[in-house]
Amino acid sequence: MKTMIAFGVLALLLVVVLASRNIVADEDTDQDGLPDSWEIHYFGDLSFDADDDPDLDDFTNLEECAGGSDPTDGTSGPRPPVIDTN
């Protein structure tokens, strides 16, 4: 019984360790200030830079990424910050 419990604990620890690897901050392998996963999601590759504006909406990719908007949609712009008045 103790062996089964120890095996279960080790299996759970392995799952936690492997899952935590995905929680680490997203990589920026091309070092342009944009997370690789964000670039891949919107553009399919890492060919655009932070200062580019592919949808010509006057917001850079960095602004679109930080503001949660779609850099491929000219009608989508960064959301303004929420100001707590309390």
Handedness of CA 42, 57, 49, 82 (dihedral sign): negative
Rounded Cα distance, 54 and 76, in Å:
12
Domains of the chain by residue range: 28-79
Nearest one of 53, 39, 69 to 61, comparing CA atoms = 53
pLDDT tens digits for the chain (86 residues)? 666 554 454 444 444 444 444 445 689 999 999 999 999 999 999 999 999 999 999 999 999 999 999 999 999 999 887 788 87
pLDDT given for residue 4 in this prediction? 53
